């Protein structure tokens, strides 16, 4: 019995089309939830403004998150197993050009809901960051054994949440999320292709 509990979970085999459709459907659902909250709950959308310095702040933050994720991946076997499980499901079936969608769809839809709608709806304070970060982390739960990955996603949620509060601009976490997804997924995919 104990031996069965220590076995690695079986990774579901999904096709490229299934992963792309799942990403698209998830993005649409998150967008709809955000729009319903904005429309019917009288919730304001966190402001966002385009400017070059905000864009570069988001890029730098995304690269910092990617580096921190790499450190966690290298030095935490539990996180590495958990991340590999999640990324095998999501990334393995995808071609390199598909990673653009992996960056854009979650980066836009998740940030719209978790930082754009939830933060102001909950008061745009420490409690709002806490609740939105926990919710964001749980969204990344793909199997009961995936708690290390959920914990990391929650930490990222805190970073993105506070970047939103400090900057007062939703563009910072959107860009950071897109950059993190693009760079980390590209590096993981290249590593798996090269077999290192």
pLDDT for 14 equals 84
pTM over 0.85: yes
8-state DSSP, 115? I
3-class state of residue 18 by DSSP: helix
Kindly list the averaged pLDDT for each block of 10 residues, start to end, along the chain of length 196.
50 83 92 90 87 96 97 94 87 90 92 94 94 93 85 96 96 97 92 74
Q: Locate all alpha helices (DSSP H) within the chain, ordered by sequence.
A: 2-6, 16-40, 52-75, 77-90, 99-111, 119-121, 126-139, 147-167, 171-194
pLDDT for 8 equals 53
């Amino acid at each position: 019995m104990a031996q069965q509990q220590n076995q690695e979970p079986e990774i579901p085999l999904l096709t490229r089309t299934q992963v792309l459709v799942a990403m698209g459907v998830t993005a649409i659902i998150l967008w709809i939830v955000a729009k319903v909250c904005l429309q019917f709950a009288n919730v304001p959308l966190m402001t966002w403004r385009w400017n070059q310095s905000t864009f570069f702040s988001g890029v730098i933050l995304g690269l910092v998150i990617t580096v921190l994720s790499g450190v966690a991946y290298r030095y935490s076997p539990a996180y590495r197993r958990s991340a590999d499980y999640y990324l095998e499901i999501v990334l393995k079936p995808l071609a390199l050009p598909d990673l653009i969608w992996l960056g854009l769809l979650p980066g836009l839809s998740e940030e719209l809901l978790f930082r754009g709608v939830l933060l102001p709806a909950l008061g745009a304070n420490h409690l709002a960051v806490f609740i939105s970060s926990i919710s964001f982390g749980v969204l990344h739960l793909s199997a009961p054994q995936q708690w290390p990955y959920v914990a990391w996603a929650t930490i990222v949620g805190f970073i993105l949440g506070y970047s939103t509060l400090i900057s007062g601009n939703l563009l910072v976490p959107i860009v950071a999320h897109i950059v993190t997804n693009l760079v980390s997924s590209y590096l993981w995919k290249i590593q798996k292709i090269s077999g290192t």
